[in-house]
Structure 1
Amino acid sequence: MSSDFYTSSILPFAAIIIKICRAYTNTQEDFEDYYQEVSLQIWRSRDNFKAQSEWSTWVYRISLNVCLTLLKKKKKNGQYFASDTLPDIVTEDSRAFADESLNALYDAIRQLSEVDRAVILLYLEEKSYQEIADIIGTNANNIGVRINRIKERLKILLDGKVN
């Protein structure tokens, strides 16, 4: 991968990649692996970009697809934490932010299904329902209903953890 491509086409969207990778990983090591794999896949598929959507949408789709694929591989190999609560060591290792409220939010987001994680991350990025639907591969009405359900689930998960 050339440094020019990384600097011009990946680095400006690093925040997107970081947020998605963080929502699908439990450790710093996994996060770094996912980030690297996403960057590599963006580079590999750059010639497939047809400009039918924004480059940021393309980055979201690749990021989500890579994270979901890696997560499925981990589950298949028995390396995934299936319980609703993460082991203390994993939770502590994943504390990338000094803001405890933000850490609590990411902990709650990690407890959602893979698709719900993607939807809420895009919603938090202030993407429109239509943009989310385009990235996820569904319709905008479905996204609206799903977001309301996700908010309720997050409220339950965060109840008592955030002031």
Structure 2
Amino acid sequence: MKETENIFLTLINQHKAIIHKISKMYMNGAEEQRDLFQEIVLQLWKAYPTFKGNSKFTTWMYRVSLNTALIYFKKDNRKVDKTPLDENIDVIDINESAEREEKLAYLYTAVQELNVIEKALIFLFLENQSHREIAENLGISEINARVKLNRTKEKLQSIIKKNGYEF
């Protein structure tokens, strides 16, 4: 049991950025993001015995993490807070980094206006997933993934323009 736990913790530690990104996509406040992060790790641990290695660990992790975020989001019936995430960003001396972080904050704020499936699509796209991989992770056809992703990107661009963000 201890060996299984160590392997799991090593894998989670190697890929925790995935969980952080999903948490930011679905929750606006830092405390809510931490809560979702913990819930995802808990669900990954509960589901870990079912991981048989038929796919890459990260593919399995995406699926469990996104499903957990969808259920968590729906269960709590959270309302979208459209305030910018500036309070969650550390101030960085380097202008370039600060500007990049500001743009990321605006992106995450705009993403909050998407529905839960659209958030998953954008997340997987930002993770450089192919249309085939997105389809596999969401359990839809590749053509459906391509169409939904294009529509979601257009919707996100519209939200960004509507909110006056500049990229």
Query: Could you state the TM-score of these two structures normalised by the residue count of structure 1?
Result: 0.86
Aligned position for 1:95: 88
Judge conservation of contact 1:26–1:93 (CA < 8 Å) in 2.
no
- Alpha-carbon distance in structure 1 between the residues aligned to 2:46 and 2:114: 30
Task: Find the partner of 1:30 among 23, 32, 50.
Answer: 32
Give the alignment of 1:43-58 within 5 angstroms.
Answer: 43-58=45-60
2:150 is equivalent to residue 148 of structure 1:
yes
Kindly state the Cα deviation for residue 6 of structure 1 after the two structures are TM-superposed. Answer: 4.7
Give the direction of change, closer, same or farther, for the CA distance of 1:94–1:151 in structure 2 (3 Å limit).
farther
Cα RMSD of the aligned pairs, angstroms, is 2.0
Matched, 1:162 2:166: yes
* Mapping 1:1-150, distance limit 5 Å: 4-75=6-77, 80-81=78-79, 86-88=81-83, 91-92=84-85, 95-96=88-89, 98=98, 99-150=101-152
Cα distance change, pair 124–149 in 1 and its aligned pair in 2 (3 A):
same
* SS at structure 1 position matched to 2:62: helix
Q: TM-score, with normalisation over the residues of structure 2? A: 0.84
* Residue aligned with 2:88, SS: coil
Q: Which runs of 5+ in 1 are unaligned?
A: none
Distance 1:135 1:8 in 2: 22
Equivalent pairs: percent with the same residue?
36
Q: CA deviation at 1:94?
A: 6.1
**Match for 2:166: what amino acid?**
V
What is the number of equivalent residue pairs in this alignment?
A: 154
Q: CA deviation at 1:95?
A: 3.2
Contact 1:68 1:114 in 2 (8 A): yes
Pairwise CA distance, 1:14: 0.6
2:27–2:33 Cα contact (<8 Å) kept: yes
Find the aligned partners of 1:87 and 1:154 in 2 and give their Cα distance: 14
Q: Deviations over 1:23-78 (max 9, x none)?
A: 11121111111111111111111110122211001111111111111111111xxx
